[in-house]
Chain A
Amino acid sequence: MLGKLGLSAIPFSEPIPLITSIIVILVALGVLGLITAKGWWPYLWREWITSVDHKRIGIMYCLLGVVMLIRGFADAIMMRTHQAMAIDAPGYLPPEHYNQIFTAHGTIMILFGAMPLVLGFMNFLVPLQLGVRDVAFPTFNSVGFWLTASGALLVNISLFVGEFARTGWLPYPPLSETTYTPGVGVDYYLWAVQISGVGTLITGINIVTTVLKMRCRGMSYLRMPVFCWTSLASCLLIVAAFPVLTATLAMLTLDRYLDFHYFTHTAGGNPMMFVNLVWAWGHPEVYILVLPAFGIFSEIFSTFSGKPLFGYRSMVAATLFICVVSLMVWLHHFFTMGAGAAVNTFFGISSSIIAVGTGVKVYNWIFTMYGGRVRFEVPMLWSMGFIFTFVIGGLTGVLLAVPPADFLVHNSMFLVAHFHNVIVGGVVFAIFAGMEFWFPKAFGFRLHEGWGKAAFWCAFIGFWVTFTPFYVLGLLGMTRRLQHINFPEWSPWLYLSVVGIAILILGVIAQVMQLVVSIRDRERLRDVTGDLWDGRSLEWATPSPPPFFNFAVLPDVEGEEAYWGIKLRAVETQQLAPEPDYRPIEMPVNSPVGICTAFFAAVFGFAMVWYIWWLAIVALVAAFAGFVVFAWRDVHEFEVPVREVARVDRARRAAREALLERMSRHGALP
């Protein structure tokens, strides 16, 4: 009846996961209880859970990402402290637990932390920047988000029911085959990643279609903000690469569940095929994350320098260049598997060629500041921290792309330092910068600056104190994923790294404090203008937060930096454009299909992990039935009456009038 599931799946004898589980469950119950007690459920259900508004979904994506970043960071703290305590000693985590920790850390940080955050930014910003009201498929957007949330839920359930994979975040066979890893850990991994991967694919298709087919009038390709370009490139990579992951994991699933021989080491299976396939997804995945990050920095450098982005077309070209070349470099993840000199040379050179694209971008950001009026607000601090960190990360990345150098430091702590350098320095810094930058747009008040600066400095210094020792350790010959360390001479560096993580903890606390303080002081920090940073793209033309229909009348774009042109004209003529002729607006109705599908997907995944076949079938049928019910509905859209549209837009115009007056008085614009 319950398949493999039994009471022994709960880790009663292991205090660390048990206590963690109890705390997590208590916190979750507390939150749910609070919501129930306050009677917030109807509001949450109506306004958030069933919402198909791209901004709401974007915010929920970011929330999920932040929670998962904290979860992954907790894993990181455990790994650092454990390794420091496991030098010629057992440490406090036995191997079967420690191995789950680093696997979960990688999986969660990449797939459930960084990915949702990046997708959240795209969701929130792309329609606003393109001057349209929603993404191409609003309901599917909701399905995509909730599927990602289901995957995250499954990963976290594995914490207290059963175990997570112990194979590393990419489960290389034969280790991940049932012969060597018979437990449910890899199955949890497979179903969680598979389900969230489908969600990601849906979002990718959605954004590609939105960018290519849903731009406001006059928004030709070369007038789009660079963030839209990088989102497009990133989502094209999602569409090209995530199916590869889906196929690869499906093959591994067949191997594990039905004794197929795709990747087994016996009966003609081919483990190398897994390595090739998974990196054919895995390397583009890195660029899926980092390209939107580049877009975020492009917006920030331009806005805070008070200048258009330097070399816009170069930026677009470099983005597309990276997008294409990133599909041709996957083999550099296993130069040491002995592919031969010619193959290694090809992939070594193709990998370093990517640095041309990123190099061009870095120079363009620098020249964007040239001749500008650079304001060192918090987003700009993160951006400068990014330039420093990412350039060093790029340097070590090119080193790893040189096969003979890779022969020495492949899989070493040097490698670990490198990819944290680019992913933390590139993606995570971008996420924090972007949060500071667009938080006022999303919520109507800005974040507290002092705490923001504290968070930046702690993160920046903490990062370097944590990861510089990794470079040294890698050169000393320390490989990654060691549960205990047999070489006491490495201990100073491991201890130093713990100091770094302590500073990073302070950074996380500062981030949380920033949020708390900002919510407390929200009236003082309120952004009444909608154009807090003197922005240049269309999202700043909306009030903060934007109405659910974004634009009362879709804008008509006349050049690059659409909003900047509008602003210039308003200042020049000392008046806003005449009030438009308001019309009623059709908006899609909310739908519970996303949360329902995701719920059944989670049930299906859980049932498959534990071999509860009947439940899996029930869940599948229910999910299909949910879709049919959805397809049967008669009302797809509702009409926002003219009166409401006019009311919202007149309030916005009033705020803009005031801003215009103030700016004219100060002569703020060139």
Chain B
Amino acid sequence: MSDGGSPAMGDNGSPAVGDGGLPASVEALRRVREDPHRLGHRPHGPREVVAGAGHGATGPANKRVIVGYGFWIFLLSDIIVFSCFFAAFAVQRGATAGGPAVAQIVDLNRVAFETAALLLSSYTCMLSFAATDARNRLWTQLFLLATGVLGLGFLLLELQEFAELAGQGITPQRSGMLTSFFGLVGLHGVHVAAGLLWLATMMAQVQLKGFRPEIIHRLMCFNLFWHALDIVWIGIFTIVYLMGSGA
């Protein structure tokens, strides 16, 4: 019996929320359900309805908003994973089991280079997206390449750090503190490595397929991911390295 399918306003497309002119039955339904505060009877969001933003008044959001939104939520969940590893480090930072303390394994010089590389890569990543917005394939690719090179540099520095520590017998198997140190820093490293793999795939896609909408969405997600890794690194840099070196 319904017109479940048919928009009440027919084809004129005007958003029907909150306007008058409803059939008496719907008005009746409303009246009995009203509470003094009239919550939810106003359209959500700004007065002017923004098509495609996904607010209640305008129907489903457009694909770009949906993809970005979903990816943000994924990033939040990923940051929760990191926060567990941060928590483990906070709990175990004193658990050296007779082995080296945090201050003894921190080499601030190298970390400064690592940090610079990663922050710079975030900047070039942002530039690449500016180029994408301008639909400039060459500059998009160049900046993506720069991002990748800087990311790779970061990763190599980190590997060098790990190798040096391992050479001195400082491995995660040594103590609880080292476990959580290598776990946290290593998890970030694994993310960067995965990001590089993604980056290479995206560069190939941009080259072969051009700026199709779904590829632009993926570039947007990659940007978010890369910046998120940067933010996590700032946390690691501060909590593990800076605070560690002073401890």
Contacts and interface: CB of A to CB of B under 8 A. Distances in A.
A–B direct touch, CB within 8 Å, in complex? Answer: yes
B4 A566 contact: yes
Interface residues of A, number: 92
A659 B1 CA distance: 6
A267 B175 contact: yes
B173 A258 contact: yes
Contact of B2 (A214, A244, A576): A576
A346 to B, nearest CB: 19
B29 A578 contact: no
Interface in A254-269: 254, 258-262, 264, 266-269
A580 B13 CA distance: 12
Contacts of A246: 81
B66 A563 contact: no
Given A217-B7, A220-B40, A243-B77, A559 B1 contact: no
Interface stretch (A89-97, A102-110, A151-159, A205-213): A205-213
Contact of A261 (B24, B33, B175): B175
Interface in B114-163: none
Given A217-B7, A273-B88, A563-B4, A137 B70 contact: yes
Nearest to B197: A624
B174 interface: yes
A243 B6 contact: no
A217 B183 contact: no
Given A208-B73, A569-B23, A628-B201, A657 B58 contact: no
A632 B174 CA distance: 45
A47 interface: no
A530 B88 CA distance: 53
Chain A interface mostly: helix
B15 A221 contact: no
Interface string B179-202: 110110000000000000100010
B9 to A, nearest CB: 6
B26 A569 contact: yes
B77 A205 contact: yes
A593 interface: no
Given A239-B77, A247-B81, A268-B176, A213 B5 contact: no
Given A243-B80, A260-B173, A213 B56 contact: no
A242 interface: yes
Nearest to B218: A631
A565 B25 contact: yes
Interface string A241-253: 0111011101100
Nearest to A634: B209
A213 B65 contact: yes
A649 interface: yes
A656 B2 contact: yes
Contacts of B7: 217, 553-556, 580
B235 interface: no
B112 interface: no
B206 to A, nearest CB: 12
A542 interface: yes
Nearest to A661: B1
B58 A580 contact: no
Interface string A272-300: 01000100000000000000000000000
A214 B54 CA distance: 6
B116 to A, nearest CB: 28
B247 interface: no
B134 to A, nearest CB: 23
A68 B3 CA distance: 39
19 contacts: A205-B73, A212-B54, A214-B61, A215-B60, A221-B44, A239-B76, A243-B84, A247-B81, A258-B172, A259-B172, A261-B176, A261-B178, A267-B176, A270-B95, A541-B4, A558-B22, A577-B2, A578-B10, A580-B11
Interface of A: 131-132, 136-137, 201, 204-206, 208-209, 212-223, 239-240, 242-244, 246-248, 250-251, 254, 258-262, 264, 266-270, 273, 277, 308, 312-313, 531, 538, 541-542, 551-556, 558-561, 563-573, 576-581, 624, 628, 631-632, 636, 649, 652, 656-657, 659-660, 663
Interface of B: 1-11, 15-17, 22-26, 28-30, 33, 35, 39-44, 54-61, 65-66, 69-70, 73-74, 76-78, 80-81, 84-85, 87-88, 91-92, 95-97, 172-180, 182-183, 197, 201, 205, 209, 214, 218
**Which 9 pairs across A and B sit closest by C-beta, in order of nearness?**
A222-B40, A541-B4, A268-B176, A577-B3, A268-B95, A220-B56, A247-B84, A213-B54, A580-B6
